[in-house]
Structure 1
Amino acid sequence: MTIKILVRLLLPLYALLFSMATVATETQFSQGKEKSVICMTCHGTDGISTIDTYPNLQGQKQAYFIAALKAYKLRQRNGGLAILMHAQADALSEKDMQDIAFYFNQVTSTPLKNDD
């Protein structure tokens, strides 16, 4: 086979795979957004907290985010306000954690200005 024939055969396959990945990404983002509504109660819209004692979640690395949620679920994180997170993490499945972590990793917004 020549290179041209290979390109003609593989290009549509790559396009199909890319479009499938894009749809999967959009689906995970929307599922993560839906599942993260409760998180926004304390951690703010799109994960930008307006309360000093609650961390921002926006832009958090997915692996770290999932590890933190699992640690709350296993009661390995106990300091500060961890007790509030225990019940939240208990209600999450592995898929929920992945979707929420994906959402907060991908979402962007303009942070509120601090007038200090």
Structure 2
Amino acid sequence: MQRISMAACLAVLVALAATTAEAQDAAAGRQKAQMCAVCHGLDGIGRNPDVPNLAGDNAIYLRAQLHAFKSGERRHEQMSIIAQGLSEEDIADLTAWYSSLKITVEMPE
């Protein structure tokens, strides 16, 4: 019974991811990210120590955070105000842009 539930959940997640991917436009997100660049950089690398990097983050995570700021579930002096002005299309495009950025990691020797 538990395997069926897990399989059903996986099927729903795959369907949601496919639907969301169709609605996203990374090129439009790049243009919209100009307003984010002051803090997060167009490249998704935070410009100050207290600003998170967004480059390469999972689109589902980024979308959830923007919705949390927009709804008031999560609060930040600037992000709460900025998120209020974002449409669902803006959120989809921005998450497409920042999640599409590739990051690399170098292990210390």
Is TM (by shorter chain) over 0.5? Answer: yes
1:73 paired to 2:73: no
Equivalent residues of 2:33, 2:42 under 8 A apart: no
Deviations 1:44-87 (A, max 9, x none): 23111131000001011111101100100111112xxx121011
Partner of 2:46: 49
* One-letter amino acid of the counterpart of residue 94, structure 1: E
What is aligned with 2:101?
A: 107
- 2:77 is the alignment partner of 1:95: no
Offset of residue 110 of structure 1: 7.5
- Could you tell me how far apart the structure 1 residues matched to 2:104 and 2:82 are? 26
Q: Tell me the CA shift for residue 109 of structure 1.
A: 6.2
Aligned partners of 2:85 and 2:47: how far apart in 1? 24
What is the CA–CA distance in structure 2 between the aligned matches of 1:100 and 1:31, rounded to whole Å?
8
Whole-angstrom distance in 2 between the partners of 1:50 and 1:99: 21
Root-mean-square deviation (Å)? 2.2
Shift of 1:39: 0.8
Q: Which runs of 5+ in 2 are unaligned?
A: 1-20
> Looking at CA atoms only, which structure, 1 or 2, has the larger radius of gyration?
1
